[in-house]
Amino acid sequence: MAEADEVTLVGTVNQALRRAMAEDPSVVVMGEDIGRNGGVFRATLGLLDAFGPARVLDTPLAEASIAGIAVGMAAAGLKPVAEIQFMGFVYPALDQIVNHASRLRNRTRGRLSCPMVLRTPTGAGIRAPEHHSESTEALFAHIPGLRVVVPSSPARAYGLLLAAIRDPDPVVFLEPTRLYRAVRERVADDGRALPLDVCFVLREGRDVTLVTWGAAVKETLAAADRLAAEGIAAEVIDVATLKPIDRDTILQSVAKTGRLVVVHEAAETAGLGAEVAAIVAEHGLLTLLAPIVRVAGWDTVVPLARLEHAYVPSEARIVEAARRVVRFQ
């Protein structure tokens, strides 16, 4: 492989899995159709041929069993990477993730850990039926003992997935569906992980802080370009690790700009945007020059097919929110 090939996000997920499996024989992957078919989005294509059926396991259509088996494997010393086909199918697995994976270290007073990764596509954008387009990351972020990670580019998918697999505790790794093949960038398959638990400042600015993550990063960066043409310099922060959130980076940015807009695809009520707003209200209130604004999905089930675009936060909505806080008197 070339030192730095142009790869899609789903391609770097495959690269990271392949790299982790080659470097560590305790890493196994499992899930529905992930072996012979390479997964519903082909994220695991070729891994069965490379590593064999003992390490690439096709499972029944049983999400609770997938998660439970992964917890058992992790407790026994393996590093399972379990795939759930869509985030809307993850709910049967919640019992195992919430009651066992997240608690294993505490329950055993550190004698056991649970080094597993639960991967699942998240979000709208492929015009799928219901249960295929949800962004319920806040469910997992609420659970003590879990890390929740969501990449927003091919390079960050590669580095963050490697870090998640190497982490000694359970990580929920959410892969934005509409970014899977939306862009290519040069990513060196060098085995270098990116740090967990930190935000990435994607664009420097002085007038307003735009905090976002996952697929919404795409529209947020486009909005920042439009704002720049109007003379408004927006700082764009990719949270990346939703739990635990890197408070310092967000607070330092808001202290500089005095204004905050939080953008996420998930429904607004009780979404992670509320947590970001609360952090700034508790620890940076006196630096604010305007009220905090959230731009989020609507409090409805994600509409079917052609109406998805009306649900996902648009570039225009982000631009209008930023204008509002900058012009606040």
Return the CATH number at 170: 3.40.50.970
Torsion of CA 160, 172, 140, 102, to 10 degrees: -120
Are 134 and 48 members of one domain? Answer: yes
Closest C-alpha to 154, from 14, 17, 9, 15: 9
pLDDT tens, position by position, 108-140: 999 999 999 999 999 987 777 777 888 999 999
Does residue 195 lie within any of the structural domains?
A: no
Count: domains in the chain: 2
Does residue 194 lie within any of the structural domains?
A: no
Catalytic residue numbers read 132
Closest C-alpha to 195, from 142, 141, 249: 249
CB 259 within 8 A of CB 208: yes
Pairing of strands 208-212, 234-238: parallel
What is the amino acid identity at position 291?
Answer: P
- Mean pLDDT in residue range 132-159: 96
What is the model's pLDDT at position 305? Answer: 67
Cβ neighbours of residue 1 closer than 8 Å, sequence gap 6 or more:
189
Does residue 192 lie within any of the structural domains?
A: no
pLDDT tens, position by position, 267-304: 999 999 999 999 999 999 999 999 999 999 999 888 87
pLDDT tens, position by position, 156-213: 999 999 999 999 999 999 999 999 999 999 999 999 999 999 999 999 999 999 999 9
- Domain extent, residue 273, equals 200-326
Q: Is 240 helix (H, G, I), strand (E, B) or coil?
A: coil
Specify which residues 295 forms β-bridges with: 263
Are 34 and 118 members of one domain? Answer: yes
- Kindly state the tokens that stand for 224: 């920042």
Cβ neighbours of residue 229 closer than 8 Å, sequence gap 6 or more:
none
